[in-house]
Amino acid sequence: MKRIFPLISVGLASIMAQSCEDSTTQAGSSLVEDEVEIVYDSSFSTTGVSDPVTSVHSRTILQLLGRLNAEGYGEFSSDIVCQYMPAANVDTTNTTANDVDSVKLLLLMYKGGFAGDSVVPMGLSVYPLTQQLPTDMESNFNPAGMYDPNPIGSVSYSALLDGSPDRGVDSEGSVYKQIVVDLPRQIGIDLYNLYKRSPQTLS
* Residue 45 pLDDT: 76
* Residue 87 pLDDT: 66
Average pLDDT over residues 108-129: 82
Higher pLDDT, 116 or 186: 186
pLDDT band at 79 (very low <50, low <70, confident <90, very high): low
* Residue 72 pLDDT: 79
Average pLDDT over residues 80-109: 83
Report pTM. Answer: 0.66
Neighbours of 157 (CB within 10 A): 19
* Residue 11 pLDDT: 35
Per-residue pLDDT of 32-78, as tens digits, reads: 556 667 777 777 777 888 888 888 887 777 777 767 777 877 887 77
Of 159, 140, 182, 202, residue with least CA distance to 19 = 159
* Residue 19 pLDDT: 44
* Residue 7 pLDDT: 38
Q: With the C-alpha atoms ordered 123, 124, 130, 133, is the resulting torsion angle positive or negative?
A: positive
* Residue 4 pLDDT: 39
* Residue 136 pLDDT: 81
Higher pLDDT, 76 or 109: 109
Per-residue pLDDT of 147-201, as tens digits, reads: 999 999 999 988 888 778 888 888 889 898 898 999 999 999 998 998 889 888 7
Q: With the C-alpha atoms ordered 121, 179, 183, 17, is the resulting torsion angle positive or negative?
A: positive
